[in-house]
């Protein structure tokens, strides 16, 4: 079975959010981009749909969480090295991200985090492949 993941996040200013994530090195699929939404490509089969808040509201009967005051989810990206973790998170801070949590360094796992421009929490992690066994 081939599985794809689409994470949908509400944003206040789509163009501002796109600029933020472009600065972090992400690209966007123009086939799924208009004035109310865009599709950020994270990896093979992994996408983040950035949706303006009014458009996001059309997909749910619940109220939309204000990520600046409520944690609705924590998104974690796994990268290939501690250096890449530091590079991405440092660039996020330079692009206007807020702080989220303290650095976690367990030796085999290194994790930093930030809040994007809309308050969504992003963790960025590296795990030593020699010490991590998938599904085990």
Q: Which domains occur in the chain, in start order?
A: 1-60 (3.10.180.10), 74-136 (3.10.180.10)
Dist. CA 89–CA 48, nearest whole Å? 18
Nearest of 103, 109, 74, 73 to residue 89 by alpha carbon: 103
pLDDT at 133: 64
pLDDT at 63: 93
pLDDT at 90: 98
pLDDT at 135 over 70: no
pLDDT at 136 over 60: no
pLDDT confidence band for 1 (50 / 70 / 90): low
Residue 1 tokens, joined: 């079975």
| pTM of this structure | 0.89
Say if residue 17 is exposed, middle or buried (CB neighbours under 10 Å; 0-12, 13-18, 19+). buried
Nearest of 115, 112, 114 to residue 126 by alpha carbon: 112
Angle at 24 between CA 18 and CA 27, to 5 degrees: 55
For 36-49, how does the pLDDT look when each residue is reduced to its tens digit (9 = 90+)? 999 999 999 999 99
pLDDT at 129: 86
pLDDT at 102 over 70: yes
For 67-89, how does the pLDDT look when each residue is reduced to its tens digit (9 = 90+)? 999 998 999 999 999 999 999 99
- Classified as helix, coil or strand, 70 is coil
């Amino acid at each position: 079975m081939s599985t794809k993941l689409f994470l949908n996040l509400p944003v206040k200013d789509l163009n501002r959010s796109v600029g933020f994530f472009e600065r972090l090195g992400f690209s966007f699929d123009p086939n799924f981009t208009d004035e109310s939404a865009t599709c950020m490509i994270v990896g093979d089969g992994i996408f983040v749909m950035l949706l303006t808040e009014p458009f996001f509201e059309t997909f749910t009967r619940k109220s939309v969480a204000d990520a600046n005051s409520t944690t609705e989810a924590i998104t974690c990206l796994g990268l290939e090295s501690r250096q890449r973790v530091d590079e991405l998170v440092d660039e996020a801070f330079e692009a206007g991200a807020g702080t989220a949590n303290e650095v976690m360094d367990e030796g085999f796992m290194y994790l930093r985090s930030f809040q994007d421009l809309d308050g969504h929490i992003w963790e960025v992690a590296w795990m030593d492949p020699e010490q991590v066994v998938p599904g085990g």
